[in-house]
Amino acid sequence: AKHEPWMVEKGWVYNFSVLGDETPNAPAIPASHGPIKSKNFVVQKVGDVLRLKELESFHFMMAGPEGAIVDEWACYHDNDGLRFTNPKASL
């Protein structure tokens, strides 16, 4: 199973998870992203390191209005487990 943490280098992001109670005052998500399963989020700022709340749990990030640079580390995987729900997303 892929387990990953992230650290924000510049800017900030909304870090969403499918786990946890729905967070109030969520930012608007463009309709082009399709239905959103992840309703719990935190604002992740420069230097903050967060990880998946549970292995293989659904998650996504959305940068603030100025954009963001985020580092991601993960244990080895061969991309077979990498899936994007947004059809426009790719590596």
SS3 75: coil
Give the C-alpha separation, 3 to 56, whole Å: 7
Residue 17 in domain: yes
In a domain, residue 32? The reply is yes
* 81 belongs to a structural domain: no
pTM for the predicted model, two decimal places: 0.78
Q: Is residue 83 part of a domain?
A: no
Please indicate, yes or no, if residue 87 is contained in any of the structural domains: no
CA dist list (Å): 68 to 21, 49, 65: 25, 14, 9
Q: How many independent structural domains does the chain possess?
A: 1
pLDDT (tens digit, 0 to 9) for every residue of the chain, 91 residues total?
Answer: 567 899 999 999 999 999 999 999 999 998 888 889 999 999 999 999 999 899 888 899 999 999 999 999 877 666 776 777 888 887 7
Would 79 be classed as within a structural domain?
Answer: no
Q: Do the Cβ atoms of 67 and 76 come closer than 8 Å? A: no
Range of the domain at 52: 5-72
Non-local CB neighbours of 23 within 8 Å, separated by 6+ positions: 39, 40, 41, 42
